[in-house]
Structure 1
Amino acid sequence: MDFKNMGKVSVITPSYNSADFISETIESVQSQTYTNWEMIIVDDCSKDQSVKLIEAKQLEDERIKLIKLMRNGGPAYARNQAILAADGRYLAFLDSDDQWHPQKLEKQILFMHQNGYSFSYTAYRIMQEGGNPTEVVFHMPSQITYKDLLKNTAIGTLTVVLNQEKLGKVQMPLYRDCSEDYGLWMSILSHGVTAYGLNEELALYRKCNESLSSNKWKSARKTWNTYRKVGRSNLPSTIWYFLNYSVRAMRKHTRTS
Structure 2
Amino acid sequence: MEPNPAKRLRTAEEEGGEVRESGGGEQTEAERRKTADVSIIMPVHNASCWLEECLQAIVHQDFTGSMELSVFDDASTDESRKVVEGWRERMEDRGISVVISGHSSSQPRGVGFAKNKAVTQSSGRYLCFQDADDIMLPQRVRLQYETSILHPNSLIGCGVQRLPEGSTERYARWINSLTRDQLLTQAYTSHGPTVVMPTWFCSRKLFMKVGLFDEGGKGVPEDLLFFYQFLRQGGSPLRLDQRLLVYRYHEAAATHSVIEETIWKLRVDFLQERVLSQWENFTIWNAGKQGRKLYRSLSLTNQRKVKAFCDVDENKIQKCFYTYEESKERPKPTVPVLHYKEATGPFIICVKLDMTGGVLEENLNALQLREGTDYYHFN
Q: Return the TM-score normalized by structure 1.
A: 0.78
2:230 corresponding residue in structure 1: 188
> In the comparison of the two structures, how many residue pairs are matched?
236
Question: What amino acid does structure 2 have at the position aligned with 1:28?
Answer: A
**Preserved contact between residue 183 and residue 195 of structure 2 (Cα < 8 Å):** no
Q: In the superposition, relative to structure 1, how do residues 10 and 228 fare at CA in structure 2: closer, same or farther (>3 Å)?
A: farther
1:25 corresponding residue in structure 2: 54
- Separation in 2 of the partners of 1:141 and 1:160? 17
Residue 157 of structure 1 deviates from its aligned partner by 1.2
Q: Which runs of 5+ in 2 are unaligned?
A: 1-35, 274-296, 307-347, 357-379
Question: What amino acid does structure 2 have at the position aligned with 1:157?
Answer: M
In the alignment, does 2:192 pair up with 1:158?
A: no
Q: How does 1:197-212 map to 2 (within 5 A)?
A: 197-209=239-251
Residue 145 of structure 1 deviates from its aligned partner by 6.1
Q: In the superposition, relative to structure 1, how do residues 183 and 58 fare at CA in structure 2: closer, same or farther (>3 Å)?
A: same
2:264 corresponding residue in structure 1: 224
- Separation in 1 of the partners of 2:352 and 2:98? 40
Q: In the superposition, relative to structure 1, how do residues 69 and 20 fare at CA in structure 2: closer, same or farther (>3 Å)?
A: same
**Preserved contact between residue 146 and residue 192 of structure 1 (Cα < 8 Å):** no
Q: In the superposition, relative to structure 1, how do residues 77 and 210 fare at CA in structure 2: closer, same or farther (>3 Å)?
A: closer
Residue 166 of structure 1 deviates from its aligned partner by 3.8
Residue 196 of structure 1 deviates from its aligned partner by 1.2
SS of the counterpart of 2:87? Answer: helix
Question: What amino acid does structure 1 have at the position aligned with 2:147?
Answer: F
Q: In the superposition, relative to structure 1, how do residues 116 and 84 fare at CA in structure 2: closer, same or farther (>3 Å)?
A: closer
Q: How does 1:111-150 map to 2 (within 5 A)?
A: 111-128=147-164, 133-134=165-166, 137=172, 138-139=175-176, 140-143=178-181, 148-150=186-188
Q: Once the two structures are superposed, what CA deviation does each residue of 1:68-91 show, in whole Å capped at 9, x if it has no partner? A: 224321111101111111221111
- Separation in 2 of the partners of 1:50 and 1:232? 40
Q: Return the TM-score normalized by structure 2.
A: 0.54
Q: How does 1:34-45 map to 2 (within 5 A)?
A: 34-35=63-64, 36-45=66-75
Q: Once the two structures are superposed, what CA deviation does each residue of 1:116-165 show, in whole Å capped at 9, x if it has no partner? A: 4431111111012xxxx458554142256665423362322111111122
Q: Which runs of 5+ in 1 are unaligned?
A: 1-6, 252-257
1:247 corresponding residue in structure 2: 352
SS of the counterpart of 2:86? Answer: helix
1:236 corresponding residue in structure 2: 298
Q: Whose helix proportion is higher, 1 or 2? A: 1
Residue 101 of structure 1 deviates from its aligned partner by 0.6
Percent identity between the two aligned chains? 20
**Preserved contact between residue 70 and residue 122 of structure 2 (Cα < 8 Å):** yes
Which one of 75, 98, 120 corresponds to residue 111 of structure 2? 75
